[in-house]
Structure 1
Amino acid sequence: MADSVVPLPYVDFLTPPVPAGQQVPAVLIHGWASGSVYWEPLAKKLLDAGRPVWIIDLPGYHPGDLLPSDFEWTLDSAAASVGAILDARAQGPVHVVGHSMGGSVSLTLAAARPELVASLTLVGMAPVPQNQGFKEVLRSQLDQGFFDSGTIAKLMNAWYGELSGADMERLSTGFKVPFPVLSASALAAMTGVEPSVPGRVQAPLLVLAGTDDRVRPLGQMRAFVAESPQRQLKAISGAGHNVHWEKPQECAEALHEFWETSWPPPA
């Protein structure tokens, strides 16, 4: 990977209708088997408040993506891809927001490229071992070479709770990415970040959590935040794993408060 070309991810660059001054962009990074669609409610709230929003599709997740033949999907290579687009388009450090596996990519980026990250928000995520039941479900599907409809429905229910048929169709499109990408990113999600990564993050860090998250219990996230004074926790009552989808207004308010108090850093 060191000598190969790092592919630039697809990015939807969204500009607010009424910009609120020189705002630092919010860069949203999706989780495993997910995509840009589940960011839409939060992105609208941020745009309405005058914040530029960049929604990233990680390598291989955007329809029609063609990855280099020697590209190996890992947290490091995904973070390098995000870093490459920030090098190309950002005019300074940005506010990075990563959900679930996207949080692992975001942590990896913040540790490796601190100059790119003004702040870091982990949504529904703390870098602790995955739920064993979840890992067993993933391994069974990876072994059979495809994700069956029953397993997809089970996972979606754990992530979102009950969905309408239309929302199920829209939100499950992440399972339609090429299986080599889906399987490699699943392994990355299960493995998680290298143990030294969180301690190397210099940026202010917020964990944004739903109190009813069935994937990452709130206690795990509280314990992670308690390890450093640089970390904060905002718990959103009644929300689950996809707190940004379920409670976009509350999430937008928490993010703006965090950004306004953490950036720019004190002189």
Structure 2
Amino acid sequence: MSSTELPFVPPADLLSKAAAVRVAEGERLRSVRLPGITLAVRSRPPAREGLPPALYVHGLGGSSQNWSALMPLLDDVTDNEAVDLPGFGDSPPPDDGNYSVTGHARAVIRYLDACGRGPVHLFGNSLGGAIVTRVAAVRPDLVRTLTLVSPALPEIRVQRTAVPTGLLAVPGVASLFTRFTREWTAEQRVRGVMALCYGDPGRVSPEGFRHAVEEMERRLGLPYFWDAMARSARGIVNAYTVGGQHGLWRQAERVLAPTLLVYGGRDRLVGYRMAQRAARAFRDSRLLTLPDAGHVAMMEYPETVATAFREFLADTGKSAAGTDTEGAADGVPANESTGG
């Protein structure tokens, strides 16, 4: 694995028409080259040495910037990094063009294996939630805890407001949409995305909206933007149809790590009704429901999510201590997972 600091201006061969990648105060952005992929990794210095590592994975159309509001609130309890999935943020497309949930999960695993930071506190939102669920199921050695914000797990009755996103998976639709929306400004696109993803778009500050517009303009300058979106959307749809041991709900049941679930009552992409099913599927889970939040609670209510994670850490720490004691007395292995 090789790692280099990313400049504020992205590589000219990929982003000749794009603006600079935004790096918030206190953040560092570096490029990590691995076999078959190059990943941009956003990080913050921890408050002190020796804190357990955390890795954050964004959703469809997002980037590591989606976690910039939450990470500073956890600097004193975790050593934080957020990854740009291949083809998103500042990460170029994967060499093999694989944007499936499994392909993205493989990229996360490859990074964790190469950097040697595991096991980590693993966070995922939307598509990222499906990805890290798969990571936790197949590589439990890499995961301390799992935090899922509106994870994109299969739904039988998909919300009507989520249908347009799913239609991106249909071959040819992305190119048709591109032609249809050619005259749309970056501001119009951002307002549409925020109306879909936020419970109350009015919570976005003028500065936050301006940064989002700048990022949208940058992404629209990427030659692979719509291809990455369409193929990743297709990956979600395909993952929804997989049954047996590779199905996402079956893999959720296999997750051993303590899991914090966060669902928004105004989510237009992932059904709020799925919260209870997820709480039953993950064997050691805690559920936080935010009635006024939409699809990106960590961006809308970062303080609330941070507080819930801190309490979750304290709770899992007490459980681990209790398990050690009980295991010694009852002959149960100290790492045996119990239902929650």
Partner residue, 1:12: 42
* Contact 1:33-1:175 at 8 Å conserved across structures: no
CA offsets per residue over residues 157-199 of structure 1, 9 Å max, x none? 1102424441541564695352221111111233445422212
Give the number of aligned pairs: 260
User: What is the CA distance between 1:135 and its match in structure 2?
Assistant: 2.6
Q: Alpha carbons of 1:181 and 1:10: their partners in 2 closer, same or farther (altered >3 Å)?
A: same
Partner residue, 2:229: 182
TM-score (norm 2): 0.68
Residue 10 of structure 1 aligns with an amino acid whose one-letter code is A
1:227-238 alignment runs, 5 A limit: 227-238=281-292
1:121-136 alignment runs, 5 A limit: 121-125=147-151, 127-129=153-155, 130-136=158-164
Secondary structure at the aligned position of 2:37 is classed as coil
1:145-160 alignment runs, 5 A limit: 146=178, 148=181, 149=184, 153-160=191-198
The reply to whether residue 67 of structure 1 matches residue 94 of structure 2 is: yes
Residue 24 of structure 1 aligns with an amino acid whose one-letter code is P
* Contact 1:34-1:175 at 8 Å conserved across structures: no
1:47-62 alignment runs, 5 A limit: 47=75, 49-62=76-89
TM-score (norm 1): 0.85
Q: Alpha carbons of 1:59 and 1:119: their partners in 2 closer, same or farther (altered >3 Å)?
A: same
Q: In 1, Cα distance between the equivalents of 2:72 and 2:313? A: 17
User: What is the CA distance between 1:202 and its match in structure 2?
Assistant: 1.6
Percent identical = 24
**Unmatched runs of 5 consecutive residues or more in structure 1:** none
User: What is the CA distance between 1:200 and its match in structure 2?
Assistant: 2.0
CA offsets per residue over residues 90-119 of structure 1, 9 Å max, x none? 343101000001001111111111110111
Q: Alpha carbons of 1:199 and 1:64: their partners in 2 closer, same or farther (altered >3 Å)?
A: closer
* Contact 1:25-1:53 at 8 Å conserved across structures: yes
Q: In 1, Cα distance between the equivalents of 2:66 and 2:315? A: 27
Partner residue, 1:112: 138
Partner residue, 1:94: 120
* Contact 2:123-2:146 at 8 Å conserved across structures: yes
Partner residue, 1:205: 259
User: What is the CA distance between 1:260 and its match in structure 2?
Assistant: 2.8
Partner residue, 2:105: 79
Secondary structure at the aligned position of 1:9 is classed as strand
Relative contact order higher in (CA < 8 Å, ≥ 6 apart):
1
Partner residue, 2:51: 23
Give the alignment partner of residue 169 of structure 1, picking from 179, 195, 213.
213
Residue 11 of structure 1 aligns with an amino acid whose one-letter code is V
Q: In 1, Cα distance between the equivalents of 2:81 and 2:282? A: 28
User: What is the CA distance between 1:143 and its match in structure 2?
Assistant: 5.5
Q: Alpha carbons of 1:170 and 1:219: their partners in 2 closer, same or farther (altered >3 Å)?
A: farther
Q: In 1, Cα distance between the equivalents of 2:272 and 2:118? A: 33
Q: In 1, Cα distance between the equivalents of 2:91 and 2:189? A: 25
* Contact 1:32-1:189 at 8 Å conserved across structures: no
Q: Which has the larger radius of gyration?
A: 2
User: What is the CA distance between 1:137 and its match in structure 2?
Assistant: 4.8
* Contact 2:268-2:294 at 8 Å conserved across structures: yes
